[in-house]
Chains A and B, each alone.
Chain A
């Protein structure tokens, strides 16, 4: 069964600290993996996208890693800011006879002063 699981479900950190969010997937055949940031009540905004051959990609203070062998990805946030408070969603795309996209349930990050 094609699934995307994220951990932790929620996280609270102090402003300025780093954190790492995890994503495990069983989606096959794998096409690409992306991380989105979603503010409450808003549409998701893309942070990074990685294909099978890429194992690291950065976007400012956000760094995503991908291990296609173990089917794991992580999103590392450096020097967190209050504006980083949001849900972070891991999304895996596949071609299962047709285009398909599988979303994790997200990690709810709260950055406190």
Chain B
């Protein structure tokens, strides 16, 4: 049974560009959450989506946006990239919304902004 998958694995962009990261949840999971993990720090919560609707949002600027598709996969978009956006972007899936259910993390997408 496949776990959470993310693509691409690695990505290099330059300042000002836009990036789209993709996540496929575990089969049967309807909630997807996105996290940013800067090197040497713990992850920070960006968004949670459930049934295609945003159900939670962390303290990130409007340059960050996301959406969830009918098959429950999700995309995270970041516009006008800054050097500080360089990080490991993690996606996690769970059965339902909220954080009372166990979250299963994907391997992450390593974004480098030059």
Binding site for B on A (CB under 8 A): 4, 31-32, 41-46, 49, 51, 89, 91, 93, 95, 98-106
Contacts and interface: CB of A to CB of B under 8 A. Distances in A.
A99 B108 contact: no
Interface in B56-98: 56-58, 88, 90, 92, 97-98
- How many chain B residues sit at the interface, stated as a range, is 20 to 34
Given A31-B99, A43-B108, A45-B105, A105 B41 contact: yes
A105 B42 CA distance: 4
A43 B4 contact: yes
22 contacts: A4-B42, A32-B100, A42-B107, A42-B108, A43-B92, A43-B107, A44-B43, A51-B100, A89-B43, A93-B99, A98-B55, A99-B55, A99-B56, A100-B56, A100-B58, A100-B99, A101-B33, A101-B99, A103-B35, A103-B44, A105-B40, A106-B41
Interface of B: 4, 33, 35, 40-45, 48, 55-58, 88, 90, 92, 97-100, 102-108, 110
